Amino acid sequence: MNVVRKVITGRPGVVIILTTAFLTSVYIADWNRAIPRSSGLSGIYEILKGFSQPDFSQEFLIVAVQATWTTITFGTSAIFLALVIAIPVSFLASGTLFRSFVVRITSVSVVRMFLALVRSIHELIWAWILAILFGFSPMSGVLALAIPYGAILARVFADFLNDVPQPPLRALQSSGASNIQTLLYGRFPSAYKDMLSYGFYRFECCLRSAAVLSFIGLQGIGYQIEVSMQDLQFGQVWVLIYFLIALIVSVDWWGSKLRRSLAE
Amino acid sequence: MMYTKIFSWPFCSFLLFCFLALTSWTIVLKDSDLLEFFSGGSLNGVLDNFRHIYNSQISGQSDPAFLSFESWYRAVFLSFRTLLVSILAIGLAGFVALLTFASGSRNLAMEGNSPIRRPFSSLIFYLLRALYTVTRSVPELIWAMLIVFTMQAGIVAGALALAIHNFGILGRLCSEVVENMDQRAIRSLRSSGASSAQVVLYGVFPDVLPQLLTYILYRWEVVIRTTVVVGFIAAEGLGRQLRLSMSWFHYDEVIVLLTCYVALVIMVDIVSGFLRKMAA
């Protein structure tokens, strides 16, 4: 009996549950619709042909560089705003500012619940909502990225602030530091490296999300991909995808360099 | 001394990031009409819509969607379809990633511990890593656009788009777990004469499984959020209905759908957290 319980509640149980869920979904899915469109085979042929003959003409390269720059612009301004939002909110969500237990618990649970709610909505749904409310301006796009990313960053930063080693904090407190001073001189300095490297990882994600802001009609790599696809110019689509890959890979490389130098 | 300190990586990165952020903000502020933004473009239209719904309910013409049982029932059904897409997607991605991660980790592929022979194993290693990078760099939505171009929209098309992107992410995470694991288990199995397939099965897999499960569950939480957006394009579940309701300006329906969406996401977060605790 004990063995059975161990298997069910432990790791094998998880594997069994996940496999069952997956197989059930495979069974329910409408595989009869998973067929190529009537034009599908020629579509695949067109896509592959574009892959072998990317359009590296000068005019299009200029378009692609501009689209990439627009995407960088949206992504960077959004993650910057997200950081500006996240750092003060993470102080609140970590609950280290208040000494009274009741105030701390209420503020932490209220802020964290709010963050969970904001986080649960995808950035493109935010984009759609903001575009309906405030019009289709770049500002809506930037806010749409900054709001959910700010919530994610705030929650993770709060966890980092909570998980710092305790001895330096106790030393500060026993020498009479206030809560804010302990936070700024004790917790923040021990957590900021983790915060930086996580923030950088999110920067990469944010650029990827910024690429699909074409969803609400904003310019960028996704927009150009859509335009080229409507013209059936798959050579151009592949060039844009290469630019996107190059952008993500170089930010990834920058981040790993940064992480390594921070770890030293 | 001073020289290397000032031009260190973190400092230069900080400067470059600040430069990028400032330039970007200048461009964004220049391009968007802030006056129009804060006067709330079509905010009035949305409010009018709700006023209209409220009036029509007062005069007994029709119930708004969030008061009718039928629209909730339909939204829950659509949520179920969305959940199905997300499970199918993460299952496909996880399955293929689990099949390939051993050949995609440097320590197994390069030191002759891969089931495949030496020159081929390093070739496959580089190919797989390139594949992970390509699939990871392109967002789900762009994969969805490409897939819908060739395939009928539906559950499978949406799941495929999500699976391709997450395969890249999971594959890379899993290979990195193997590269960072304790190498002594591999060496000791090796020296007691285990074949490379046995090394992977008995040395690597049991050691990294908890981490892989954690990553798969964590990505599932991300996938459920994205499934709705992919549904916009791949015409499936909540996403499709959300798009239709939005383009018909049925904001009462939008509220029902968004509530179901948030509830679904929070539910998946809870289930995934529970399973992760079980797996740990």
Interface of A with B in 193-232 (CB under 8 A): 196, 208-209, 211-212, 215, 222, 225-226, 229
B contacts of A31 (beta carbons < 8 Å): 156
Q: Which residues does residue B151 pair with via DSSP β-bridges, in sequence order?
A: A36
Cβ partners under 8 Å of residue B97, min gap 6: B167, B170, B171, B174
Q: Contact A138/B31 with Cβ under 8 angstroms?
A: yes
Chain-chain contact of A80 with B139 (C-beta, under 8 angstroms): no
Q: Does A263 touch chain B (CB under 8 A)?
A: no
Higher pLDDT, B108 or B100: B100
DSSP state of A215: G
* Rounded Cα distance, B279 and B21, in Å: 41
What are the sequence ranges of the domains in chain B?
Answer: 65-279
Look at chain B and count its residues: 280
**CATH homologous superfamily for B65-279?**
MetI-like (1.10.3720.10)
- Dihedral angle over CA of A247, A249, A254, A255, nearest 10: 110
Per-residue pLDDT, A89: 93
Cβ partners under 8 Å of residue A173, min gap 6: A182
| Banded pLDDT at B201 (limits 50, 70, 90) | confident
A contacts of B29 (beta carbons < 8 Å): 139
Alpha carbon of B196: minimum distance to chain A alpha carbons (Å): 24
Looking at 3.30.60.50, 1.10.3720.10, 1.20.1560.10, 1.10.540.10, the CATH number of the domain A50-263 comes to: 1.10.3720.10
Report the residue from B138, B159, B225 with minimal CB separation from A241.
B138
Count H helices, E strands: chain A?
Answer: 12, 0
List the pLDDT tens digit at each of the 264 positions of chain A: 677 776 667 788 888 888 889 998 888 887 777 777 766 677 788 888 888 888 888 889 999 999 999 999 999 999 999 999 999 999 888 888 777 888 888 888 999 999 999 988 999 999 988 888 777 788 889 999 999 999 999 999 999 988 888 888 888 888 888 888 888 888 888 888 888 888 888 999 999 999 998 878 888 899 999 999 888 888 899 999 999 999 999 999 998 888 888 877
Angle between helices B251-279 and A101-120 (to 10 degrees): 110
Chain-chain contact of B21 with A76 (C-beta, under 8 angstroms): yes
Interface of B with A in 67-126 (CB under 8 A): 84, 87-88, 91, 94-95
Per-residue pLDDT, B4: 58
